[in-house]
Amino acid sequence: MTEASKPTVVVDNLHIDYKTFASGKAANDRRALMQRQRGVRVVHALKGVSFVVHEGESIGVIGHNGSGKSTLMRSIAGLHTPARGAVYAASRPALLGVNAALIGDLTGDRNVMLGGLALGMTPSEVESRRDDIVDFSGIREFIDLPMKAYSSGMAARLRFSIAISRDHQILLVDEALAVGDKDFRAKSEQRIRDLREQAGTVFLVSHSMRSIMDTCTRVLWIDHGTLKMDGDPKEVVSAYKKSR
Ligand SMILES: Nc1ncnc2c1ncn2[C@@H]1O[C@H](COP(=O)(O)OP(=O)(O)OP(=O)(O)O)[C@@H](O)[C@H]1O
């Protein structure tokens, strides 16, 4: 990254709360049962996270289960309203999560069209990229079957292939690589590096430290909703490993 590179995402003192209904039934001893609380419970998922990301950076996001990584990705994608603070993005970020909405009753092929349109491509753009998308996914022989007949790995490969078929200025990848096999992961990581070289910004949430080390130029460690460390992948990953 050079000093001249432009900021693409600014996260400023971001606080995200989830309000959820607790049944109070989780408590399993008598004392806890007496104290059980029904009603709305607020989960403070992010507590004042701040950082600036520039074009050409590839940001790994690591942290223990429930630390707030997916919440951070969804916030950058604009899917949460901050309780406090703000997120600024230079263009609309594209979020690629393992839950990206494709329709199980439709064939893989129809979902390529659906997913492409959802990413803002025109029907003719999707048509022209269809072959590349299907080739990248490596599931051509299953492409005319309904997606509900796919394994979770096959579905994830197709979702990833659709999402990366388009150049994004800001791409958020949430654990999508975890389900692919070794070859697919290598291919996907290469594609992420290519996107970054085209001055894009890529965020990669992963529990695989190898994927993070192979792909990222900088790593954010999220811990209990706060940014515990931000810096060089080697240093951050090594500090994170020591904490486990
Ligand atoms: N829809 C929701 N309603 C209530 N609480 C939520 C919701 N989604 C997440 N949380 C809570 O917010 C916190 C952060 O969750 P998040 O999914 O961002 O963590 P994560 O770091 O991505 O975890 P993982 O590595 O397990 O995917 C957790 O305490 C979680 O229980």
Please name the residues in contact with 102: beta carbons below 8 A apart, sequence gap of 6 or more.
Answer: 111, 114, 115, 147, 155, 158, 159
pLDDT in tens, 20-69: 887 766 555 555 555 555 688 899 999 999 999 999 999 999 999 999 99
Q: How far is residue 196's CA from residue 155's CA, in Å, rounded to a whole number? A: 24
For residue 89, what is the enclosing H or E element? strand 84-89
Q: Is residue 169 part of a domain?
A: yes
First to last CA, the chain: 30
The Å distance, Cα 1 to ligand 1 centre, comes to 31
**Residue closest by Cα to atom 28 of ligand 1:** 66
User: Quick one: pLDDT at residue 159?
Assistant: 85
Model pTM score: 0.83
Q: How far is residue 233's CA from residue 138's CA, in Å, rounded to a whole number? A: 30
Q: Is residue 37 part of a domain?
A: no
* CATH classification at residue 151: 3.40.50.300
Pocket of ligand 1 (CB under 6 A): 18, 20, 43, 45, 63, 65-71
The Å distance, Cα 20 to ligand 1 centre, comes to 12
Furthest C-alpha separation in the chain = 64
User: Quick one: pLDDT at residue 122?
Assistant: 93
**Residue closest by Cα to atom 24 of ligand 1:** 65
Q: What is the mean pLDDT of residues 197-204?
A: 84
**Residue closest by Cα to atom 23 of ligand 1:** 66
Q: Which two tokens stand for residue 34?
A: 């007496």
What is the number of structural domains in the chain?
A: 1
User: Quick one: pLDDT at residue 94?
Assistant: 83
**What is the gyration radius of the CA atoms in the chain, in angstroms?**
20
User: Quick one: pLDDT at residue 176?
Assistant: 60
The Å distance, Cα 122 to ligand 1 centre, comes to 34
Domain extent, residue 230, equals 55-81+93-243
Q: Is residue 198 part of a domain?
A: yes
For residue 222, what is the enclosing H or E element? strand 218-223
Q: Is residue 21 part of a domain?
A: no
Q: Which of 50-54, 76-80, 112-116, 176-180 has the highest mean pLDDT?
A: 50-54
Tell me the ipTM for this assembly: 0.97
To test the pocket of ligand 1, the residue of 21, 43, 227, 228 to mutate (highest count of ligand atoms within 8 Å of its CB) is 43
Q: Is residue 197 part of a domain?
A: yes
Q: How far is residue 183's CA from residue 138's CA, in Å, rounded to a whole number? A: 10
Q: Is residue 14 part of a domain?
A: no
